[in-house]
Each structure stands twice: as C-alpha cells, then as structure tokens.
Structure 1
Amino acid sequence: MTIQTARLSDPAVRAFVTAVNAHDREGFMRLLAPGATMADDGADRDPAEWIEAEIFATHGRLEVDNESRGGRVLVARHRNDTWGEMRTRRLFTVTQDGRISRFETGQA
C-alpha cells in the first residue's frame, strides 16, 4: 500500500518526494544543503548529474511503500523513462535547518 506523500513523517523527505513528483527542479535543489552528497547502490555519485539523469530528464517519480527511522528511510517504487519501475530503498541525512545533506539510494 502506498503512503500518501502528504503523510510522510519527515518534512525534508516529504518535500523531496513532492519536488520529484512535481518535476520541480528549483524546489528540489533548494532542499539540498550546500555540498550535499549522494550514493547510488553504494557508490558515491555526482548529485547534479544523478539528479538530472535519474529524475528530471527522465520524468522520475516516487511512490512510497514504507518509511522508518522517523521518515528518513523509505522503501519506494522509483519510475523513470530509462529504467521503468524499480523498488528502491532511500536513506536521508537531514541537517538541523531541515535541508538534506546526503541521500542514498539502492535497490530494495
């Protein structure tokens, strides 16, 4: 069963999913702390390149199935025009001011 985005527990993670699904690049980028980092399947990636390739250029979308650790760990179905749909696990590190300093994704 999918969790409605508005019901996600962590405000920064909720805003992340909202921005992805709305294809709101500017809103998405405002969520990231300066120097934010990310990893895909355990390998560090350039966040700007990954975000463009996996989300915005390919019409990425997230449907959250489960959340844990106060909403900072998600199991979600990620869809985009390149890969179709895959079940992913996402882990977020959020700063005290509510911005995302790191996110990690990988197949669940």
Structure 2
Amino acid sequence: MIDPSQLSDPAVRAFVTAVNTGDQAAFQAVLTPDATMSDDGSDRDLAQWTEKEVFSCNGHMSVHAESDGGRALIVDYRNDTWGEMRTAWRFTVTDDGRVGRFETGQA
C-alpha cells in the first residue's frame, strides 16, 4: 500500500487526499474548470459522478501501485454503495499542475 502523501505526482496526490478526506473544496481546487472524466470507458458528468460515487457515499482510495510518473494508479476503491473493488485510474495533468481529466475503471 502506498500512503497518499508518498504519491509521486503532486496533483494526483492532492486528488487522492481530497477524495480520502471527503474535502470537496480541495477536490475542486485540484481540477481544471473544464475537467472531464470517464468511468469504465464512458464519459460521465464529473460533478454528478463525484457526488454519487465519492462524496455522498464516503469514497476512499487505497493505492497499491503507481506508474507513468505517478499519473496511473492501481487502487482498491471503496464506497458505501458498491463496497470495494480493484480499479485503475489514469490522470491527465495540465502544465499548471491540475487534473484536466481522469479515467477510472475496473482493473
């Protein structure tokens, strides 16, 4: 298991920390204003998805591995709705150090 504070990419580190602490303001701060995301290969409305899958149901990311300079993670993701599942996350980080897109899906 990798402690979120040890993740290589600062934007991804901030993203995981915000998810795990349920800090919506910090989560929004790490995203670009036009950030996008996909879940299992389908683009989703980021605000609706994060509310449903993260913040209203205590989402939590336990990171097992990182690659691509810290922008690709293998995570045991759990929330109160779905329980726990092994997931893959890939992040696109902009030049200003924020997440412009993330993609997740079962690993």
**TM-score, normalisation: structure 1:** 0.98
**CA offsets, 1:54-80, max 9 Å, x none?**
100000000000000000000001000
Corresponding residue for residue 50 of structure 1:
49
Corresponding residue for residue 82 of structure 1:
81
SS of the equivalent of 1:98 reads coil
The one-letter amino acid of 2:91's match is F
Q: Distance in 2 between matches of 1:17 and 1:69?
A: 16
Q: Which runs of 4+ in 1 moved over 6 A?
A: none
Unpaired stretches in structure 2, ≥5 consecutive residues: none
Corresponding residue for residue 67 of structure 2:
68
Q: Distance in 2 between matches of 1:56 and 1:34?
A: 19
* 2:34 is the alignment partner of 1:32: no
Q: Distance in 1 between matches of 2:48 and 2:32?
A: 16
**Percent sequence identity over aligned pairs:** 61
Superposition RMSD on alpha carbons, in Å?
0.4
The one-letter amino acid of 2:49's match is W
Q: Distance in 2 between matches of 1:10 and 1:46?
A: 24
**TM-score, normalisation: structure 2:** 0.99
Unpaired stretches in structure 1, ≥5 consecutive residues: none
